[in-house]
Chain A
Amino acid sequence: MNISVLKFDAVIVGAGGAGLRSAIQLSEAGLKTAVLSKVFPTRSHTVAAQGGVAASLGNSEEDNWRWHMYDTVKGSDWLGDQDAIEYMCKKAVEVVVDLEHYGMPFDRTDDGKIYQRPFGGHMSNFGEKPVRRSCAAADRTGHAMLHAMYQRNVKANTQFFVEWMALDLIRDSEGAVVGISALEMETGNIVIFHARAVIFATGGSGRIFASSTNAFINTGDGLGMAARAGIPLEDMEFWQFHPTGVAGAGVLITEGVRGEGGILRNADKERFMERYAPNAKDLASRDVVSRAMTTEIKEGRGCGPSKDYVLLDITHLDPATIMKRLPGIREISIQFAGVDPIKEPIPVVPTCHYQMGGIPTNFAGRVAVPDGRGGDRIVPGFYAAGECACASVHGANRLGTNSLLDLLVFGKSAGDSAVEDLKDGEAHRTLPADAQDVARSRIAALDARKGGTSVYEARQAISRTMQDHAGVFRFEDLLKQGVARILEVEKMAHNLEIQDKSKVWNTARVEALETENLIEVAKATMISAEARKESRGAHVRDDAPDTPEFPNGRNDKDWLKHTLWFRDGNRIEYKPVCLTPLTVEPVELKTRSY
Chain B
Amino acid sequence: MTTRTMQFRIYRYDPDKDERPRMQDISVEVDEQDRKLLDALTKLKAKDETIAYRRSCREGVCGSDAMNINGKNGLACLTDLEGLEQPVLLKPLPGLPVIRDLIVDMTQFFKQYHSIKPYLINNDPPPERERLQSPEEREELNGLYECILCACCSTACPSFWWNPDKFVGPAGLLAAYRFLADTRDQATGERLDNLEDPYRLFRCHSIMNCVDVCPKGLNPTLAIGKIKEMMVKRYV
Contact = CB atoms under 8 A, between A and B. Distances in A.
- Do A and B associate with each other? yes
A336 B79 CA distance: 11
Interface in B20-36: 33, 35
B57 A43 contact: yes
Q: Which of A152, A252, A504 has the most CB of B within 10 A?
A: A504
A507 B50 CA distance: 7
B62 to A, nearest CB: 4
A42 B149 contact: yes
Interface stretch (B125-133, B162-170, B197-205, B226-234): B125-133
A262 interface: no
B49 A48 contact: no
A105 B54 CA distance: 28
A113 B100 contact: no
A498 B49 contact: yes
A103 B184 CA distance: 8
Nearest to A102: B120
Interface string A207-242: 000000001110000000000000000000000000
B55 A508 contact: no
A108 interface: yes
Nearest to A500: B50
B119 A508 contact: no
A455 B45 CA distance: 11
Interface in B94-109: 99-101, 103, 106
B99 A504 contact: yes
Contacts of B4: none
Interface string A98-121: 001111011111111110000000
Interface stretch (B83-91, B138-146, B206-214): B138-146
A143 B49 contact: no
B63 interface: yes
Contacts of B99: 186, 504-505
Contacts of A47: 57, 61-62, 148
Contacts of B64: 39-40, 43
A507 B48 CA distance: 11
Contact of B133 (A40, A108, A454, A511): A108
A151 B138 contact: no
A502 B14 contact: yes
A572 interface: no
Contact of B114 (A154, A252, A499): A154
A45 interface: yes
B185 interface: yes
A506 B14 CA distance: 10
B49 A454 contact: yes
Interface string A451-477: 000111000000000000000000000
Given A43-B56, A147-B145, A216-B56, A106 B130 contact: yes
B33 A114 contact: no
A39 B119 CA distance: 20
Nearest to B217: A331
A506 B56 contact: no
Contacts of A110: 134-135
Interface of A: 39-40, 42-45, 47-48, 57, 97, 100-103, 105-114, 137, 140, 143-144, 147-148, 151-152, 154-155, 186, 215-217, 248-249, 251-252, 328, 331-332, 335-336, 454-456, 498-500, 502-508, 511
20 contacts: A39-B56, A40-B64, A40-B106, A42-B149, A43-B56, A101-B120, A103-B120, A103-B182, A107-B138, A110-B135, A113-B130, A114-B130, A140-B61, A143-B148, A215-B57, A215-B58, A335-B60, A455-B49, A504-B99, A507-B45
